[in-house]
Structure 1
Amino acid sequence: MSRRVRTALAAVLAAVLGAVLLPGAARAATVNYVALGDSYSSGVGAGPYDLSTCLRSQKSYAPLWAAAHAVTSFRFPACGGAVTADVRDSQVGQLSSTTTLVTITIGGNDAGFADVMTSCRFGSTSSCESAVAGAKTFATATLPGRLDATYAAIRDRAPNARLVVLGYPRLFETGSCGLLAMSSYKRTILNQAADVLNGVTAGRASAAGATFVDARPAFTGHGVCAADPWIRDVSGVIEAYHPNANGYRYGYLAALTAAIG
């Protein structure tokens, strides 16, 4: 028997023995994924929704990522309207020492996202400025402690998991947008507020040893007032200023996949 034939047979034998002796869990990485967070994780804006009050959609980035990666298990407690305390009190119970991946968007509701958007969409320029200033102050002064406590609670419940914190997109393009739209100035200062929130979130995620995924680049050119918007305007009251199905797939999912595979 030639050396080449012996080498080939040895390689085949090794492959066969490996397939027989190694259980499936050893040959393929186990991924136990839990998606926490607020409406930007539950999928508000994408629809259709489950029967809970959390407005969870299978078109959100989390179930899309889970389906694409054939995960071992997937839990989806993310809930529209959630604040950091809700994550700590109601969502981290889905975690365990066997959890290997956790994703989360959180902090926007703590900073008064809905009230700020209402003030700017329907109020005066001065009321918008005041609301934005208040949200930015909260984001820099109070939110860091809440984020730290939330990430610590996740680490405590899921010590073996990779924690991935996703940020928020800028919601608006600032060019011409029609007579009934918010002014370019309002849209600009709202985008600036999103930048502040993302900066704070990125900093606290880094301090917690988490991976921060910046969603802003993926959404660039697709905000409200774009030719192809991935963010809903006020046409849907509950869904206003949330990603649509394309936003979750081509914005959030693309950003998450680029960051972690």
Structure 2
Amino acid sequence: MRRSRITAYLATIFLAVGLALTGATSANAATGGYVALGDSYSSGVGAGSYISSSGSCDRSTNAYPYLWNAAHSPSSFSFLACSGATTDDVLAGQLGSLSSSTSLVSISIGGNDAGFADVMTTCVLNSDSTCLSRINTAKAYVDSTLPGKLDAVYSAISAKAPSAHVVVLGYPRFYKLGTTCVGLSDTKRSAINDASDYMDTAIAKVVANHGFTFGDVRTTFTGHEICSGSSWLHSVDWLNIGDSYHPTADGQSGGYLPVLTNAA
């Protein structure tokens, strides 16, 4: 009984210390400025409630950076993610708010460099073989060119915000496989999912080389893919075509926000 009481006592101490450290991490992340960079997955395309001043960048108050800011109240918040952004766009126009006082940076980038929109358009409108060929072209780009593009962006972030904790968010798998679902063939769905995994693996490798944190959203989106019956991703939306294959408001709050919160 004595040993059990000691074990329980030590467990309580370790739990308290763990909670304290977790709280300290969140507090540290909120003490400095937070800068949110990236593409449409970070700006919140598909989540609605767009900030009028953001124009064609379509920054949403339902996007995970906006939600994290509201929950943690950092000393400053710069929301610069923009729909359609590539790595070159980040370098040219999104780094101005970074400084030595920036304590947290989040970013999703790379999908547009690899031709995400064209891949999805090709797969929706063409045959299985044409879809697979376009995906293979994108994979070749991910192998040959994307790592260097990501390296340039990550190096620039480190140079401008040397004290910042940088969280790089990945991309979800788009389809739940093995279900009956109107739309693309199983071959296309499987290939698109594989391409997403391919992209995430490449991004995570460069992230690790820079000592940043990779936020893997495939875990939180599991069970909420297209064809799941509870999707957090838009399928093809012919009325709002730009929303297609982007997270809904639930995808931002349930898929992306928890990953950033845990990583920050």
Per the alignment, residue 164 of structure 1 pairs with: 167
Pick from 82, 89, 93 the counterpart of residue 90 of structure 1: 93
Which amino acid in structure 2 is aligned with residue 195 of structure 1? D
State the Cα deviation string for residues 65-89 of structure 1 (Å, max 9, x = none): 1111121111001000000000011
Per the alignment, residue 7 of structure 1 pairs with: none
Residue 49 of structure 1 contacts residue 58 of structure 1 at CA under 8 Å; is this kept in 2?
yes
Q: How far 1:105 moved relative to its partner?
A: 0.0
Per the alignment, residue 44 of structure 1 pairs with: 45
Which amino acid in structure 1 is aligned with residue 230 of structure 2? D
What SS does the corresponding residue of 1:92 show, helix, strand or coil? coil
Q: How far 1:225 moved relative to its partner?
A: 1.0
Residue 232 of structure 2 contacts residue 250 of structure 2 at CA under 8 Å; is this kept in 1?
yes
Per the alignment, residue 31 of structure 2 pairs with: 30
**1:155 and 1:100 mapped to 2: Cα distance?**
11
Q: How far 1:29 moved relative to its partner?
A: 5.8
Residue 166 of structure 1 contacts residue 214 of structure 1 at CA under 8 Å; is this kept in 2?
yes
**1:110 and 1:173 mapped to 2: Cα distance?**
25
Which amino acid in structure 2 is aligned with residue 234 of structure 1? V
Residue 54 of structure 1 contacts residue 80 of structure 1 at CA under 8 Å; is this kept in 2?
yes
Residue 29 of structure 2 contacts residue 74 of structure 2 at CA under 8 Å; is this kept in 1?
no
Residue 95 of structure 1 contacts residue 154 of structure 1 at CA under 8 Å; is this kept in 2?
yes
**Identity among equivalent pairs (%):** 51
Q: How far 1:27 moved relative to its partner?
A: 10
Per the alignment, residue 56 of structure 1 pairs with: 59
Per the alignment, residue 201 of structure 1 pairs with: 203
- Map 1:123-202; keep pairs closer than 5 Å: 123-179=126-182, 181-202=183-204
Matched positions, count:
234
Residue 32 of structure 2 contacts residue 101 of structure 2 at CA under 8 Å; is this kept in 1?
no
Which amino acid in structure 2 is aligned with residue 253 of structure 1? L
Q: How far 1:28 moved relative to its partner?
A: 10
**1:28 and 1:161 mapped to 2: Cα distance?**
9
Per the alignment, residue 110 of structure 1 pairs with: 113
Which amino acid in structure 1 is aligned with residue 196 of structure 2? A
**1:258 and 1:154 mapped to 2: Cα distance?**
21
**1:253 and 1:206 mapped to 2: Cα distance?**
21
**1:73 and 1:166 mapped to 2: Cα distance?**
21
State the Cα deviation string for residues 81-123 of structure 1 (Å, max 9, x = none): 0000000110011211111100000000000000000011111
What SS does the corresponding residue of 1:94 show, helix, strand or coil? coil
Q: How far 1:258 moved relative to its partner?
A: 2.3
Residues 49 and 71 of structure 1, relative CA distance in 2, 3 Å threshold: same
Which 5+ residue runs of structure 2 have no aligned equivalent? 1-26
Per the alignment, residue 228 of structure 1 pairs with: 230
Report the TM-score when normalising by structure 1: 0.87
Residue 169 of structure 1 contacts residue 194 of structure 1 at CA under 8 Å; is this kept in 2?
yes
Per the alignment, residue 217 of structure 1 pairs with: 219
Per the alignment, residue 247 of structure 1 pairs with: 251
The farther-off stretch of 29-38 and 59-68 is: 29-38
What SS does the corresponding residue of 2:49 show, helix, strand or coil? coil
Residue 175 of structure 1 contacts residue 225 of structure 1 at CA under 8 Å; is this kept in 2?
no
Report the TM-score when normalising by structure 2: 0.86
State the Cα deviation string for residues 24-64 of structure 1 (Å, max 9, x = none): xx999613100000000000010121221101001000110
Residues 224 and 27 of structure 1, relative CA distance in 2, 3 Å threshold: closer
Which amino acid in structure 2 is aligned with residue 197 of structure 1? M
Residue 38 of structure 1 contacts residue 106 of structure 1 at CA under 8 Å; is this kept in 2?
yes
**2:204 and 2:225 mapped to 1: Cα distance?**
21
Residues 134 and 28 of structure 1, relative CA distance in 2, 3 Å threshold: closer
Which amino acid in structure 2 is aligned with residue 173 of structure 1? K
What SS does the corresponding residue of 1:34 show, helix, strand or coil? strand
Residues 190 and 96 of structure 1, relative CA distance in 2, 3 Å threshold: same
Q: How far 1:178 moved relative to its partner?
A: 3.5
Q: How far 1:156 moved relative to its partner?
A: 1.0
Which amino acid in structure 2 is aligned with residue 205 of structure 1? V
Q: Which is greater in Rg?
A: 1
